[in-house]
Structure formats: structure tokens, C-alpha cells
Structure 1
Amino acid sequence: MAFSYIPFLLLAIYIHALATLSNAGGHHIRPPSPGYRPSSKFRSMSFYKGYRNLWGPNHQRLDNKALTIWLDRTSGSGFKSVRPFRSGYFGASIKLQPGYTAGVITAFYLSNSEAHPGYHDEVDIEFLGTTFGKPYTLQTNVYIRGSGDGKIIGREMKFHLWFNPTKRFHHYAILWSPKEIIFLVDDIPIRRYQRKSVATFPLRPMWVYGSIWDASSWATEDGKYKANYQYQPFVGKFTNFKASGCTAYSPRWCRPVSASPWQSGGLSSQQNMAMHWVQSHYLVYDYCRDNKRDHSKTPECWG
């Protein structure tokens, strides 16, 4: 009798293969488990315990533990951490605006632009707004000592997501240590940027920021679609704030946090498998694979 089950087994394998193939076309399936969830290792904080409004105070509202910021034709809004950090885990659960959001950026990032204007470091998670029926693009980026000086070098990797980020809150995080930067979505590593030289890695203290603003000149399909204020306000919601690590004022013996089960950092084999799954299914741009780029300026791409 066991032999008769073989056709059903083959059919199950075939259906699984079809699901995997269809996923590449935008259908959502669950990614493999990373096996370790760093967000559970760090305590959430209330917004005002760690952050302050930076701009657009009239476009920012705190309800219970959720912060809402919005953009309309008069202003956007942004917030900033009270303390600068030299390493740490920085996360927030974010829910995005549905519908037409072209030209609008909702961002969560690290930067020292106010301390080093024109010559700053930055580590970005940016949600690039979109048109009806098209998915958001999550852009990760790393800048090192460059802005406003004509020498800015972006290190963009862009992803679509395996879920609809407008339906509910999802947790997005940056793990920054002196030897690597790891971007995570719901505890799944999507990108690991390793320190290969001092010239290609941010090492100066940075603050944590969040914002929503009009970037019509480039945000959606290189500026093809602009912000349309017929659909205002454009809203971003943030909650479950986490910022844990070594501040700029911590003693030298403060140990950097890790995104993996090991204090030494890196990723476990299971985390690596989950990251490669995301990159094989949802990566839509990698600066290292862009033949139009001058890779003499991005030597970390060489291996």
C-alpha cells in the first residue's frame, strides 16, 4: 500500500516547487526561521525615555506607546535619540501607509550628520513609497564620511518584503558593532555589511533617527512618480522602540552587542540560510552587482 502514496508525494513536491517559483513573482511565503531572535534580548523603551522630537512637532503624536508621524504639504516630521552610540542594537516596530505613497520616505536610521555636517556617516533603513498595486521597497544603505561634498558614495541594497508592511507592525533593526552592520526584519538578517577596512566602515558615534519626508526627486522609480498631496496625510507609525548598546559616554570596556547566539558576533549557519533565502527571493538591487557603478570607490565589493 505504501507504494500508492508516491504519486501524492510527487504532487506535494510539485506544488511546493510551484509555490517557490510563484514567490519570485511577488506572492508571499514564510521565510525559514533564523533560529535566534535578537530582538527578544533587548528591552523595549517608551518613546520619551530615549527620543525627542527633532522637527515637525505638530506632525507627531504619541498614543499609548505608539508614535505617529506624518507628512502633508506643509511639513514632515522626525525624531532623534537623546544619546549618541558607538555600537548597539537599534530597532522599532513600524507600520506603513497603504495606497499611493510615491515620493514619500519613511525612515529609521543612524547618523552623525549634525556632528559632522558635510562629512558624516549614516546607516539607513528607508521605505521607498510606491504607486497603487506595487510593493514598497526597503532600501538599506551605508555612508562613510561623505555628504554634501560631492563625494557621497551610497552602498544600497534594496528589497521587497515577504509580507504587506501596511497591514500590521513589523520589527526592523540595525545591529552595529565595530566589525559589522546587520540589518534585520522580524529578526531575520537580510544584509550583513562587514568591516573590511577603516575607510569603508563607520566608526564615529551616531544618533538614532526616524522621519517621514518628501523625496520626490528620487524615491520612487528614480523620481518618475512624485508625492501627490491629494492623498495626504502620509503616515508612519512606530512602536516597540529598542536602543541598547555602548553609548558615546560608555567606558571603553563596554562590550558591543551581537545579533547572533555568539558574543563574538557574526551569524549562525541558520541565520545565514535565512539571509540567503531572503536575498535569493526578494533582493531587487545590489550596488556591488551594478555594472554602472565605479567599484574602485567600493573596494569591499571585491571580496
Structure 2
Amino acid sequence: MAGFQSPPIRRILTVLSVLFVLSLSTAVSAFNVSTLRFDEAYTPLFGHHNGNLIRSSDDKSVRLVLDRYTGSGFASSDLYHHGLFSASIKLPSDYTAGVVVAFYTSNGDIFRDTHDELDFEFLGNVHGKPWRIQTNVYGNGSTSRGREERYLLWFDPTKEFHRYSILWTETHIIFYIDEVPIREVVRSDAMGGDYPLKPMAVYATLWDGSTWATSGGRYPVNYKYSPFVSEFSDLVLRGCRKDPIQQSPSAAADEGCAASDAELAEAEYATITPERRQAMLKFRHKYMTYSYCYDARRYPVPFPECDVIPSERVRFRDTGNSNIVGIRHRRHVRRGRRVPAVGMGSNSQAAI
């Protein structure tokens, strides 16, 4: 991570990164998945009328741009009931405080009060501080019970592309970075409706999160450093397309989703092997900086899916923040809207 962190933090993370990469050499291998052209699976969402969504000549990659006038984003043309959703992403470089890049699934446009959502959120930072990644899980509108986790990375995400994937099945959810599982949520009866159940679309957005993204809004976006550019390629959508409001789906549609779910369950990325589980535990030990499972002030009783590991628990304060590399984090990030209203500047985004 040379070049964008203060020396003490940079030295510590460099050592951790080398050790972590060496430990992955035999633990992971690339997934065998087919990629899609943009026009096969996605459609522009906002910013394209301002020239802030730029597709490559072969339509296999897209650039999202944030400037002082608007951000940009795209969405899948269909909704999916379970699947693997993946993209290789390169984040904006230089001073990125207040900048938010998001890759996520949601059905909030259809089920406004009971929406489901699975998030990768990339939070920019000031000079000398690294990008942070946040994952979250919502089911049936459970936004008051946020399940945030935040992490640092073992690489500089602004230098080259890295793959970020969300696997969603009937029984579990896995977040991957470069084929390394970083988080698993196993469905249980105790979770009830908090587990995502309804079909969702896939989104990618770049926008102004000045009010909350960096140190609780202390450092807003500085447009002196704009335009901010994030690149997306290797687009993967593998799952069952489904109409979320269809009341009586045909037998053929049911069979289609059953077959798709069965195929998904048999894929190599649907199961965390012992080697990958060891890699996940190492990642979480070295790079996880916040977990809702250890936030005793916010949630005195851990959620049912929380697997509280005693050896891991001692590394976290009762605010859920880790002592990792001496970086302090806010206890709870307040999230803003990912998609600004059409015709409004990105600074006018309302908080959820």
C-alpha cells in the first residue's frame, strides 16, 4: 500500500500483506465463471446523460465518474432470485475523502419498506489513509438492525483491478475478494425475515457521501481532486431471473429457478473449503476493523448468526472496533442514499 498511508501504518500493513499473500498461495484459485458484455446484463442508471458513465469500445468494461455536477451508476436489466454477482473493480486514487463506490444488490425500488440488500461499500479517505470496505446485510427492511463489518485490504485497490463477489443462496451468503471469502452469513430460523428472501437487482454506483463516509462527515468530497473515476470489468451475473411481483409463477419458471439454485449450490464458490475457511479466518484476524457482532454497546445481545470466537473477541472493544494497526473507527456509519435524485447534485442526497 505504499504511497497512500502514513509510514507506521504502511510498514505494519506491508508486513501483514506479505504474510497474508504467502498464506493464500495454495488456498485459493480463480473461479471458473463466464463474463458478460455490459449490454447483455446492465443498463445505465444515472450520470450517463452528463457523460459520467463511459463504456469501453468492446462493451466489456465501464467507467463511472463523479464530478461536482453528478455521480454515476448502472443496474442490472433484470432481478435475480439467488445468484453469484461479481465485478473486477479499480477504485479512484489520490484524495478521495467523502467518495463512495458501491457494488450491491437491492430491491428497494419495489419494496420500499421491506427491502432486501447485500452491500460492498468502498469508503474513500484523506491523504495518508487507506480505502476502507464495508459489507452489510439487510432483509425485509431491517435497516434498524445493521449488520455492518468493515475491513482494510492487503493491496492498494487504486493500482489495479480486484474481483469483488457476492454469493447469495437460500441457505447462506458469502462475500469474496479475489476468490478469498471474507464473510459468511448462514441463514437460521432465528434470523426470521432478516435474511434476504426476495428477488434483487444488482447495482454499481459512484457518488458523493460527504455527510457520512469519512470520519462521520468531517472530511467532505474535495472537488479540487475531481473527476473521481472507478472502473468496472469482468461483469458476472449468474442466477435465476425472476419477476418479484408475479403472484402465480408458472411451473416452468419454478423449475427454472430450482434448476438454477441446484446448479449454484454445486458450484465451487458455493462452499467454503477448509483451505478457504482458513484464509477467511486469517483475513478477518488481520484486516477486520469493525464487527456488529462485537458491538456490545449497540447490540448487548449478539444476533443469532454471530459466531462469537473468544480468541477473536478479545481484539475488539465493546464498540465493535478492533485495535488493529492503531486505526480508530466510528462505532456506526450512517449511510446515505446511493442513487441521487435525477437532476439533483450529489451533495443533495438524503440520508436513509
TM-score, length of structure 2 as denominator length: 0.73
Q: Which has the higher contact order (CA 8 A, sep 6+)?
A: 1
Pair 1:128-2:123 in alignment: yes
What residue is the counterpart of 2:93 in the other structure? 98
Read off the aligned partner of 2:216 and give its amino acid letter. Answer: D
Aligned partners of 1:301, 1:203: CA distance in 2, in Å?
Answer: 19
Moved more, 287-296 or 165-174: 287-296
Read off the aligned partner of 2:212 and give its amino acid letter. Answer: W
Match of 1:26, SS state, is: helix
What residue is the counterpart of 1:62 in the other structure? 55
Residue 161 of structure 1 is aligned with which of 147, 153, 158?
153
Greater strand proportion:
1
What residue is the counterpart of 2:114 in the other structure? 119
Read off the aligned partner of 2:13 and give its amino acid letter. Answer: G
Read off the aligned partner of 2:188 and give its amino acid letter. Answer: K
Counting only pairs closer than 5 Å after superposition, residues 173-192 of structure 1 correspond to structure 2 as 173-192=165-184
Task: Extract unaligned runs of 5+ from structure 1.
Answer: 1-21
What residue is the counterpart of 1:261 in the other structure? 268
Give the C-alpha shift of residue 296 in structure 1. Answer: 5.0
Aligned partners of 2:224, 2:257: CA distance in 1, in Å?
Answer: 52
Aligned partners of 2:217, 2:113: CA distance in 1, in Å?
Answer: 24
Residue 220 of structure 1 is aligned with which of 214, 233, 236?
214
**CA deviations over 1:62-88 (Å, ceiling 9, x no partner):** 123220011111111111001110111
Contact 1:200 1:300 (C-alpha < 8 Å) held by counterparts: no
Match of 2:286, SS state, is: helix
Cα 1:252/1:244, change in 2 over 3 Å? closer
Give the C-alpha shift of residue 117 in structure 1. Answer: 1.3
Match of 2:68, SS state, is: coil
What residue is the counterpart of 1:89 in the other structure? 84
Match of 1:271, SS state, is: helix
Cα 1:302/1:94, change in 2 over 3 Å? closer
Contact 1:295 1:301 (C-alpha < 8 Å) held by counterparts: no
Aligned residues with identical type, % of pairs: 39
Aligned partners of 2:260, 2:62: CA distance in 1, in Å?
Answer: 30
Match of 1:301, SS state, is: coil
What residue is the counterpart of 2:330 in the other structure? none
Give the C-alpha shift of residue 26 in structure 1. Answer: 1.6
What residue is the counterpart of 1:50 in the other structure? 41
How many equivalent residue pairs? 276
Residue 230 of structure 1 is aligned with which of 220, 224, 227?
224
Contact 1:106 1:128 (C-alpha < 8 Å) held by counterparts: yes
Read off the aligned partner of 2:268 and give its amino acid letter. Answer: P
Task: Extract unaligned runs of 5+ from structure 2.
Answer: 1-8, 244-252, 309-352
Give the C-alpha shift of residue 130 in structure 1. Answer: 0.7
Give the C-alpha shift of residue 292 in structure 1. Answer: 1.8
What residue is the counterpart of 2:187 in the other structure? 195
CA RMSD of aligned residues (A): 2.2
What residue is the counterpart of 1:288 in the other structure? 293
Contact 2:64 2:205 (C-alpha < 8 Å) held by counterparts: yes
Aligned partners of 1:235, 1:144: CA distance in 2, in Å?
Answer: 31
Contact 2:293 2:302 (C-alpha < 8 Å) held by counterparts: no
